[in-house]
């Protein structure tokens, strides 16, 4: 029983709080993931996006998208890191991934930033 409590606490404290990283998408909306560093995300990011740096996405995606059929939109600064993240997610079995490139591309596509 103590192992179960410890595992539960570990999961709770190792999973980022949504308040710090955006909100989960509403019905029919994709999960928008900013794969830049935390400091880049804090400077400016797309509203409703969550921050999962591209080099951490394999370990953290299940906390935000346990369903491998979830719609996911990725962006970074220029599109390179989001391409790496896209490949990682596809290798993990995620199917509905859209790489929209960089933050400026997101803004041109009508996404608002904070």
Question: Tell me: the pLDDT tens digits for 79-89?
Answer: 999 999 999 99
**58 in a structural domain:** yes
**73 in a structural domain:** yes
The residues with which 72 forms a beta bridge, in sequence order, are 31, 97
* pTM for the predicted model, two decimal places: 0.79
Q: pLDDT value at position 8?
A: 42
**113 in a structural domain:** no
pLDDT interval class at 36 (50, 70, 90) = very high
- For CA atoms 31, 35, 37, 41, the dihedral sign is negative
Residues forming the active site = 76
Which structural domain range is residue 38 located in?
Answer: 2-108
What is the count of structural domains for the chain?
A: 1
Q: What is the CATH number of the domain that holds 22?
A: 3.40.250.10
CB atoms within 10 A of CB 51: 20
**114 in a structural domain:** no
């Amino acid at each position: 029983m103590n192992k179960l409590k410890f595992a539960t606490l570990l999961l709770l404290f190792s999973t980022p709080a949504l308040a710090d990283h955006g909100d989960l998408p509403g019905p029919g909306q994709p999960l928008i993931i900013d794969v830049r560093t935390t400091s880049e995300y804090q400077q400016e990011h797309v509203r409703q996006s969550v921050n999962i740096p591209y080099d951490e996405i394999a370990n953290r995606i299940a906390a935000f998208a346990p369903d491998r059929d979830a719609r996911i939109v990725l962006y970074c600064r220029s599109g390179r890191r989001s391409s790496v993240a896209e490949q990682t997610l596809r290798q993990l079995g995620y199917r509905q991934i859209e790489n929209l490139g960089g933050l400026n591309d997101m803004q041109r596509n009508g996404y608002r930033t904070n």
